[in-house]
Amino acid sequence: MAVFTPVSEARLQQLLQDYDLGEMTGFQGIPSGIENTNYFVDTTRGRYVLTLFEKLSAEQLPFYLDLMHHLASKGVPCASPVASRAGRLLTECEHKPAALCTRLMGQDVEQPSALHCQLVGQALAQAHLAVADFKGQQPNLRGLAWWQQTAPALLAHLSDDQRLLLASEVQDQTDFAASPLAQGLVRGAVHADLFRDNVLFDHEQNQPVLGGFIDFYFAGVDHLVFDLAVTLNDWCIDHGPTDSGRFEPSRRVALLEGYQSVRPLPEAEGEALPMMLRAAALRFWISRLYDWHLPRQASMLKPKDPGHFERILRNRRAEMGS
């Protein structure tokens, strides 16, 4: 159970007095959180999710909440923070910064179809267009600087072959980031973690309907094509027993066609995409290696196998002849 901070019914009732959301009719802890505590909260006006932030500070949170609010206001399907009677998106609960957000319909999809991928591509492109006038500024905190800082701490835990791969890829990404191509790519506020478990789908007449995007708490300003690469590397690969990391062609085509039907990919982004696919694989390989070998004290969740993203990275490099 990943409810790190218990919240009583009486405290939730008290919190709701700050909002114009009617009376509480039910609440339930959500066991799937990794970083934060989450509760479903039902009222006479609707269904919501209360998040208590276990690590992010009140000073860090406005970027994430403002981004979600901005995207929702532009019609992008995503969870949106609810403003209190005083007009604030951020609140406090059990001495933790907290936010109450709209609850989206649907659930995540473990084995996506080509149609699921098309719909995700369309919505991702919609989000990338919507952030053109978003004023918030925060770098991707799990970007190149973090890779460069974290990789040396992992080397002692790796085989010779893995050490060579990690050092080589970090250097290749450092060189690419300094290239004119990378320097000229479009940047904006991106989700940066749009995996299958961060997208909800409902169904109507046996057809998938996108409920929306959730969990923006790894968001930051980065290249838009990096965000696309993160999404491709999760939605469009072999998820079978072999876990090969190879692309499944029909889903990859569907996601890219869906994306480009809303935001045609600029030529420079198409040229940069192979390196960004490697960058996206590296980012999650490093984070999983860190969680596996250097876990946080008293972590409540089992770390995920880093081998998954090692295989993806090796595939992406092989596709470029590296």
224: left (phi over 0), alpha (psi -120 to 50) or beta: alpha
* pLDDT at residue number 1: 41
The one-digit pLDDT tens for each residue of the chain (322 residues) are: 467 899 999 999 999 999 999 999 999 998 866 678 999 999 999 999 999 999 899 999 999 999 999 999 999 999 999 999 999 999 999 999 999 999 999 999 999 999 999 999 999 999 999 999 999 999 999 999 999 999 999 999 999 999 999 999 999 999 999 999 999 999 999 999 999 999 999 998 889 999 999 999 999 999 999 999 999 999 999 998 989 999 999 999 999 999 999 999 999 999 999 999 999 999 999 999 999 998 765 445 678 899 999 999 999 999 999 8
Beta bridge pairs of residue 91: 98
CB of 104 within 8 A of CB of 212?
yes
CB of 52 within 8 A of CB of 24?
no
* pLDDT at residue number 35: 77
Closest among 315, 314, 285, 317 to 157, alpha carbons compared: 285
Q: Is the dihedral of CA 154, 190, 257, 116 positive or negative?
A: positive
Closest among 287, 6, 13, 8 to 153, alpha carbons compared: 287
CA 222 vs CA 43, 186, 191, 283: distances in Å: 37, 8, 9, 13
Closest among 263, 230, 257, 211 to 118, alpha carbons compared: 257
CA 54 vs CA 4, 35, 297: distances in Å: 8, 7, 14
Residue 158: how many CA atoms within 13 Å on its side-chain side? Answer: 21
Residue 226: how many CA atoms within 13 Å on its side-chain side? Answer: 28
Nearest-10 Cα torsion for 125, 126, 130, 136: -60
Residue 103: how many CA atoms within 13 Å on its side-chain side? Answer: 18
Task: Dig out the tokens for 118 from the structure.
Answer: 């098309």
Task: Dig out the tokens for 285 from the structure.
Answer: 């390989």
Domains (ranges, CATH) in the chain?
A: 9-102 (3.30.200.20), 114-319 (3.90.1200.10)
Q: Model-level pTM?
A: 0.94
Nearest-10 Cα torsion for 18, 21, 27, 29: -70
* pLDDT at residue number 301: 60
